[in-house]
Amino acid sequence: MEERGLSLWIYVGVLALMLMGALQRVLPLHLSSWPALVARLWASALMEWLGAFWTAALLIFSLALGLAWWLRSARVSGVALLAPEGRAVCITGCDSGFGKASAKRLDALGFKVFATVMDLSGEGAMELRSACSSRLSLLQVDITRPEQVQQMLLAIKTELGLKGLWGLVNNAGVCVNFGDAELSLMSTYRRCMEVNFFGSLSVTKTLLPLLRRSRGRIVTVSSPAGDQPFPCLAAYGASKAALNLLTNTLRHELEPWGVQVSTILPSSYRTGQSGNELYWGRQQDHLLLNLGPALLEEYGQDYLAETRELFQEHARNAAEDLSPVVNAIVQALLSPQPRVRYYAGPGVGFMYFLSSYLPYSVSDTFLQKLFVKKKLMPQALRRHPGLGLQAGVNNNNNNNNNNNNEEKSEQ
């Protein structure tokens, strides 16, 4: 009885913490400014009170949750995977990174692999030729060019004949540049959308008849930036957000056809151009040439330089072992019951937990400390501090006072 009572109190405490987080998010959206302020203060005070009494309970709950997750993972990993022999899979973006590593692994497992690359004579393509079996077929495909996507379809049909395609791994993607949303060029937004969203959509729609024929799998390598507001990744994150929604929609629509759809959400890894400082230097120069002088003056070149250095530092510290992502792709392709989402790498699941159940202030702070830890303010705010947050607070107070005076005069 005592154990049951303790479990009940732990459950109630965690629910209360989650409720407080939800209240802090929802209340300001539905109440006028003064009641919202009172409600927010009340919620904050109540959270502090609960935190004082429920820290131990929350720790116990977290440990129990971790143990349950470990037991579930062990049970899932113990389930026999489907046999890869005789199954064909197409992977986009195999010049480097996750695509190249996945092509090697799937070929070694016995898949018939169609690996798309941008350059058939590039280092990635040459490495795949030397490392893989004759089952692997290299296809030169720019997924933003419809004619090349159609040529890919014809090549796959020619090799497979009447057989269907078991799997599509949407891996090709690009982060054109990074920086504040206001400082990002429209060409950056368009290029990210063109590759990460429209390119993946084009490949998926083109290959869907073959995937439906085999009741196969679609595995999309996306990014937590599509769900979380990472600073300085607005263009990239927006394209991944569109991709995430498309993938979830396909998951519902293709269920009657027997096609199962999964999303891979990796943590930070060193792939593609992420560690290429020469590339980011050229992108920075291009940005400086195309930014308006007034905007550049307000933010300052030192602000942009700090952003670049912080991003490169983050890239240098990114993980080089890509196996968690490759393992997730294999599981999504061969598990009898693949997951909807695979959190591939340390910290990703915890980040989603914070953003789902705790106040925005907590999850936002976590993201800021996890990614680019900016120290410099924009140049205009350093020169004129009154333009920033405090000025906004003063303006809000003035507006509230004006509203109160109007109400009194009406009375």
- Contact assessment for residue 240 and residue 283, using Cβ atoms and an 8 Å cutoff: no
CA angle (324, 328, 331) in 5-degree steps: 140
- Contact assessment for residue 190 and residue 302, using Cβ atoms and an 8 Å cutoff: no
Identity of the amino acid at 125 = A
- Contact assessment for residue 255 and residue 217, using Cβ atoms and an 8 Å cutoff: no
The Cα–Cα gap between 73 and 265 comes to 17
- Catalytic site residue 299? no
Identify how many contiguous H helices and E strands the chain contains and give both numbers.
16, 7
Name every residue whose Cβ is closer than 8 Å to that of residue 161 and which is 6 or more positions away in sequence: none
- Contact assessment for residue 211 and residue 168, using Cβ atoms and an 8 Å cutoff: yes
| Among 11, 189, 236, 352, the one annotated catalytic | 236
| 3-class SS of residue 262 | strand
For residues 70, 75, 76 and 80, what is the CA-based torsion angle, rounded to 10 degrees? Answer: 150
Active site residues: 236
